[in-house]
A = this chain, B = another copy of it.
Amino acid sequence: MTESDVPVTTFHPYRWGDPQRPAHLPPAALEALAALGVKTPKNPPVTPERIEPSPSRLPAEARTELGAVVGEEYVAVDRETRLAHTRGWSTTDLLKLRSGDAVDAPDAVVHPADHAEVVAVLAVCDRRRIAVVPYSGGTSVVGGLNPVRDRFDAVIAVDVSRLNRLEAFDEVSRTARLGAGTRGPRVEKLLRDKGFTLGHFPQSYEGASIGGYAAARSAGQSSAGYGRFDQMVVGLTVATPRGDLTIGNAPLSAAGPDLRQLFLGSEGAYGVITSVTVRVRPTPAVRIFEAWRFPSFAEGTEAMRALAQDGPLPTVLRLSDEVETQINLSDPTKMLGGGPEGCLAITGYEGREADVAYRREAAGHVLAEHGGHPLGAEPGEAWRTGRFRAPYLRDPLLDAGVLIETLETATFWSNVPSVRQAVTTALTESLAAQGTQPLVLCHISHVYETGASLYFTVACAQTDDPVNQWAQAKKAANDAIRAQGAAASHHHGIGIDHRDNHAAEIGAVGMVAVVAVKEALDPTGILNPGILV
């Protein structure tokens, strides 16, 4: 269903995406996995029908009050709905559900119809001291949907998926206001009907939605050309326990702190984002994807830096390291089948014909000057068409006994080699010490004038306790990232997984500011307890 118009609205609780399109491991992959010591787990995953969350603890009176706000039929306490809103999509989240652990299931899932209903729901929850997990696409991979129940008896998910309309459109200014629950494919459908695109294509595209993009500062695969999501936002509407907030009356201004940048990344802890006004662009007339090979990651990195700093920038720009290139993750149909030598880079160009022609030619010169060898359009197109399939592959890999997870950071260019080395070493040493020598893959997929993101994929055999196995490896990676002074997260957010690194990076005074806003806007602390502060 790549870039399909129909949003995926019913997920399997622990299998990604469209159930009609499951992924299967290519035969070569199974052989390669055996070489890693991977063995099929003793127990197959618990089927969803057999997973039983603990009984809902939502008091009957609260349920009645919430029903009075949104309509009884929009206060779900059934097992399936609660399971579908249990945690997010990290590998740990999936491993827990696979083992039948649904203790984090919300006590109810409320589906408000609009901003006013969100406000009223928060009022009920604030008065009755019910914790609220703001829920849009539900695709967090960092524990952002796993609240600390803490001092709250009940916790509900407030699912904004009914807020999924194009609420306003300004063709002259090229802005669109979209409901927070509008998922990626629907966003593109709504805008394409107007001749426009948002240009935001994270790997979670089929499931994630506008509110989550904003709350967790998503970055998509076309970020070189279209920017990160937080750079696309010109306005926000937020419902907080203290009242409403609508901000963004100009592209940029000098009128004080940019409050948009305070709520972007707030991960539901300051309020429920109900709509986002984004900058949009005309549907590109031309779209060309190509691949290049570099002799080494170091040379490829220099090429990325040259384009990021001196231009021209392609719309898509990514570089896999030697391991990732060999594993061939860029083309899931051939994964683990033995990729090309060196390092694969993908370049994509979208826009008007003359502009694409200029950028493509000039960028090609830069890539070649830095040791790049053109591989033509075929591998580029293979990457483009397969790019939303990677999340599907995790399910059969987990079935086969592979522990597979990703993590990411960002740093300045001069620190890129060191961060890559340190994180790779930390992951490798932690997992090897647990008896499961891993493959650690790395790529650069988002570039800036001053630095870049580094995205790691880790694969190894599962131990008998893969949740704890990964917890140790993740801690080692976090420690390495912190020691390197790199970002706690480039585009996954903080959630639970990056709390310590986030606190360390903003320091005590930064946390004073973050906490002050929380306590002022959410004095009862009902919003996503344990997240951000």
Binding site for B on A (CB under 8 A): 170, 172-175, 216-219, 228, 230-231, 234, 238, 240, 242-247, 249-267, 270, 279, 281-282, 305, 309-312, 352, 354-355, 358, 362, 409-415, 448-452, 485-494, 498, 501-502, 505-510, 512-517, 519-521, 532
Establish whether residues B250 and A410, one from each chain, have CB atoms under 8 Å apart when the complex forms: yes
Establish whether residues A516 and B514, one from each chain, have CB atoms under 8 Å apart when the complex forms: no
Establish whether residues A510 and B259, one from each chain, have CB atoms under 8 Å apart when the complex forms: yes
With A174-B450, A262-B262 known, 6 other A-B pairs at CB within 8 A are A172-B413, A219-B254, A230-B252, A250-B486, A257-B514, A515-B520
Report chain B residues within 8 Å CB of A245.
Answer: 506-507, 509-510
Report chain B residues within 8 Å CB of A309.
Answer: 174, 281
**CB of A28, distance to nearest CB on chain B (Å):** 35
**A175's contact among B216, B252, B412, B491, by CB below 8 Å, is which?**
B412
Alpha-carbon distance A451/B251, docked complex (angstroms):
6
Alpha-carbon distance A251/B217, docked complex (angstroms):
13
**CB of A225, distance to nearest CB on chain B (Å):** 11
Chain multiplicity (copies):
2
Task: Please judge, given known A-B contacts A516-B519, A517-B513, whether A217 and B254 are in contact too, CB under 8 Å.
Answer: yes
Establish whether residues A362 and B354, one from each chain, have CB atoms under 8 Å apart when the complex forms: yes
Please name the residue on chain B nearest to A365 by beta carbon.
B354
Alpha-carbon distance A253/B485, docked complex (angstroms):
13
**CB of A304, distance to nearest CB on chain B (Å):** 13
**11 A-B contacts, Cβ less than 8 Å apart?**
A172-B412, A173-B412, A173-B414, A244-B509, A247-B506, A249-B487, A249-B505, A250-B486, A252-B490, A281-B449, A354-B362
Alpha-carbon distance A172/B501, docked complex (angstroms):
25
Task: Please judge, given known A-B contacts A218-B254, A413-B172, A505-B255, whether A486 and B249 are in contact too, CB under 8 Å.
Answer: yes
**CB of A10, distance to nearest CB on chain B (Å):** 28
Report chain B residues within 8 Å CB of A413.
Answer: 172-174
Please name the residue on chain B nearest to A260 by beta carbon.
B261
Closest 3 CB pairs of A and B: A261-B261, A516-B520, A251-B448
Task: Please judge, given known A-B contacts A247-B506, A506-B247, whether A254 and B489 are in contact too, CB under 8 Å.
Answer: yes
**A516's contact among B267, B312, B486, B517, by CB below 8 Å, is which?**
B517
**CB of A445, distance to nearest CB on chain B (Å):** 13
Alpha-carbon distance A245/B242, docked complex (angstroms):
28
Alpha-carbon distance A489/B505, docked complex (angstroms):
31
Please name the residue on chain B nearest to A218 by beta carbon.
B254
**CB of A492, distance to nearest CB on chain B (Å):** 6
Establish whether residues A411 and B249, one from each chain, have CB atoms under 8 Å apart when the complex forms: yes
Establish whether residues B487 and A253, one from each chain, have CB atoms under 8 Å apart when the complex forms: yes
Establish whether residues A259 and B515, one from each chain, have CB atoms under 8 Å apart when the complex forms: no
Alpha-carbon distance A94/B310, docked complex (angstroms):
43
Alpha-carbon distance A358/B507, docked complex (angstroms):
45
**A513's contact among B259, B312, B507, by CB below 8 Å, is which?**
B259
Of A216, A242, A265, A508, most B-chain CB atoms within 10 Å: A265
Establish whether residues A494 and B255, one from each chain, have CB atoms under 8 Å apart when the complex forms: yes
Establish whether residues B256 and A502, one from each chain, have CB atoms under 8 Å apart when the complex forms: yes
Report chain B residues within 8 Å CB of A492.
Answer: 254
Task: Please judge, given known A-B contacts A352-B310, A517-B516, whether A262 and B253 are in contact too, CB under 8 Å.
Answer: no
Establish whether residues B255 and A487, one from each chain, have CB atoms under 8 Å apart when the complex forms: yes
Alpha-carbon distance A410/B264, docked complex (angstroms):
22
Please name the residue on chain B nearest to A277 by beta carbon.
B450
